[in-house]
């Protein structure tokens, strides 16, 4: 690695490094010194540390520092760091944790990736090797959980969405409105950036969890609850804003006819994809999630990249005339599975939906019926489309 060349690239690309820190006295100096080997464009945000952090930072008077009198949370420290970096007219900011898990020597990887994508709005997240022997099991699980919800909210699949080693485009960040202040901020910022058409991607980085010197401030119950609440809100916004907007843009870009053929009908879809689309639609249609069938089937079809038109069509197995019969079949299955016997008639269900007095039986039977229906209709669909494809290929060959 040519350090002088990297230093020049950091200057030319107008990048700074933000180091948020809270009670990391054992590793802070090592991280700062490592970054100083590559650049002096550093902003340190001391988030109300109560250990010897303040004394350590007195030895770095030439570095731009922000000190909170009390701890406000990592999200607030990053937000303050971004605001300061923007006021100093930097274009990009690399954030690196001060707990020693990240290696400043990986910064050139971010710079080289940025240089190769010059002119793009790019947000880069360092992907840790979560199978590394030093990575705690709870961190690996939390990362998978976060990756899943990020995919649900943006349609983007990443290997690591929780790493604090990142590069942010400040020209985008300055126009976003944020509400979170703790660890969940790092989820909010990447989701909202993706919604603004920023390219979010991973690059591999090194990681080290040395429990003898590392201090983690993540509170499993409180912070996991905060993250779950945030994800619930972001999924809601995804349904009413992000995907409708993306749908409209796709229609505008392709034209209505091309969009209908390619995106809705999926004329080139494989028999497997069409069969899975039938299975999804049938499962949702038979499920007891009344009032949400259309929203769920279209949302899941988009996320799972299935055929939306087919999924929607088969979700209509629950049209009003069929509802009493679906409930009847669900109750019969529920009784059989639970070993119960309920007295009712189909006339009662048509008149006043008496079945809902036996909610547990109905729910068990309903999801069982949905699963059976999805398998049967999906399997039949697969056979049909496979046969149709072979027949069409034979006609083309003739």
Residue 146 has pLDDT above 80, yes or no: yes
Residue 69 confidence (pLDDT): 95
> What number is the average pLDDT over the span 135-153?
74
Residue 393 confidence (pLDDT): 63
Q: Which residue has the tokens 């820190």?
A: 21
> What number is the average pLDDT over the span 236-260?
75
Say if CB 242 and CB 153 are below 8 A apart: yes
Q: CB-based contacts of 108: which residues, under 8 Å, 6+ apart? A: 1, 6, 38
| pLDDT band of 355, cuts 50, 70, 90 | very low
Q: Which residue has the tokens 């001391």?
A: 46
Say if CB 288 and CB 330 are below 8 A apart: yes
List pLDDT tens digits, range 12-26: 999 999 999 999 999
Q: CB-based contacts of 252: which residues, under 8 Å, 6+ apart? A: none
Whole-number Å distance between alpha carbons of 78 and 100: 18
List pLDDT tens digits, range 201-246: 999 999 887 665 666 666 666 767 888 888 888 888 887 778 777 7
Angle at 230 between CA 165 and CA 204, to 5 degrees: 20
pTM: 0.68
Residue 131 has pLDDT above 50, yes or no: yes
Sheet of 92-95, strand order: 64-67, 42-46, 15-21, 92-95, 166-169, 122-127, 199-204
Residue 105 confidence (pLDDT): 96
More confident site: 25 or 306: 25
| pLDDT band of 133, cuts 50, 70, 90 | low
Residue 320 has pLDDT above 70, yes or no: no
> Lowest-confidence range among 25-29, 48-52, 367-371?
367-371
Q: Write b or e for each residue in 139-176: b if 16 or more Cβ atoms lie within 10 A of its Cβ, otherwise e.
A: beebbebbbebbebbbeeebbbbbbbbbbbbbebbeee
Residue 303 confidence (pLDDT): 80
Q: Write b or e for each residue in 178-217: b if 16 or more Cβ atoms lie within 10 A of its Cβ, otherwise e.
A: eebbbbbbbbbbbbbbbbeebebebbebebbbeeeebeee
> What number is the average pLDDT over the span 146-152?
85
Kindly list the structural domains of the chain, giving each domain's residue range(s) and its CATH number in brackets, ordered by start.
3-238 (3.90.550.10), 257-397 (no CATH)
Whole-number Å distance between alpha carbons of 366 and 370: 6
> What number is the average pLDDT over the span 144-150?
85
Residue 79, phi then psi, degrees to nearest 5: -60, -40
> What number is the average pLDDT over the span 314-332?
78
Beta bridge partners, 166, equal 95, 125
More confident site: 387 or 55: 55
Residue 249 confidence (pLDDT): 77
Closest CA to 109 of 165, 158, 162: 165
List pLDDT tens digits, range 327-354: 888 888 888 888 877 765 555 554 554 4
Q: CB-based contacts of 54: which residues, under 8 Å, 6+ apart? A: 46, 67
> What number is the average pLDDT over the span 41-48?
97
Residue 299 confidence (pLDDT): 80
Strand pairing of 64-67 and 166-169? unpaired
> What number is the average pLDDT over the span 290-296?
79
Residue 31 confidence (pLDDT): 97
Residue 389 has pLDDT above 80, yes or no: no
Whole-number Å distance between alpha carbons of 18 and 47: 13
Angle at 307 between CA 305 and CA 312, to 5 degrees: 120
> Lowest-confidence range among 160-164, 279-283, 346-350?
346-350
> What number is the average pLDDT over the span 170-184?
94
Average pLDDT of the chain, as a whole number: 85
Residue 348 confidence (pLDDT): 54
Residue 189 has pLDDT above 50, yes or no: yes
Beta bridge partners, 168, equal 93
């Amino acid at each position: 690695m040519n350090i002088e060349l990297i230093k020049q690239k950091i200057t030319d690309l107008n990048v700074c490094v933000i180091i948020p820190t809270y009670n990391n006295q054992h590793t802070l100096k090592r991280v700062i010194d490592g970054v100083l080997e590559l650049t002096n464009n550093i902003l340190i945000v001391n988030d109300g540390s109560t250990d010897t952090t303040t004394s350590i930072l007195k030895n770095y008077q030439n570095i731009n520092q922000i000190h909170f009198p009390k701890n406000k949370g990592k999200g607030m420290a990053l937000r303050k760091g971004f605001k300061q970096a923007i006021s100093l007219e930097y274009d990009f900011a690399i954030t690196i944790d001060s707990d020693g898990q990240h290696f400043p020597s990986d910064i050139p990887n971010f710079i080289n990736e940025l240089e190769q994508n010059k002119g793009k709005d790019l947000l880069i997240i360092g992907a840790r090797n979560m199978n590394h022997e030093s990575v705690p099991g709870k961190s690996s699980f939390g990362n998978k959980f976060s990756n899943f919800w990020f995919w649900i909210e943006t349609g983007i699949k990443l290997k690591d969405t929780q790493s604090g080693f990142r590069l942010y485009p400040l020209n985008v960040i300055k126009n976003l409105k944020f509400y979170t202040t703790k660890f969940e901020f790092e989820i909010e910022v990447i989701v909202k950036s993706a919604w603004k058409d920023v390219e979010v991607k991973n690059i591999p980085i090194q990681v080290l969890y040395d429990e003898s010197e590392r201090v983690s401030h993540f509170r499993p119950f409180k912070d996991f609850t905060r993250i779950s609440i945030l994800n619930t809100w972001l999924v809601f916004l995804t349904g009413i804003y992000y995907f409708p907007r993306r749908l409209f843009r796709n229609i505008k870009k392709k034209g209505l006819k091309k969009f209908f053929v390619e995106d809705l009908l999926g004329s080139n879809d494989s028999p497997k994809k069409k069969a899975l689309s039938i299975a999804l639609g049938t499962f949702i249609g038979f499920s007891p999630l009344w009032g949400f069938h259309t929203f769920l089937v279209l949302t899941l079809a988009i996320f799972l990249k299935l055929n939306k038109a087919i999924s929607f069509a088969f979700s209509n197995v629950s049209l009003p005339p069929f509802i009493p019969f679906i409930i009847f079949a669900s109750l019969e299955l529920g009784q059989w599975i639970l070993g119960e016997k309920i007295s009712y008639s189909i006339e009662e269900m048509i008149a006043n939906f008496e079945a809902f007095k036996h909610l547990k039986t109905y729910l068990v039977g309903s999801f069982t019926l949905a699963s059976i229906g999805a398998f049967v209709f999906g399997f039949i669909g697969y056979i049909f489309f496979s046969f149709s494809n072979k027949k069409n290929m034979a006609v083309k060959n003739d």
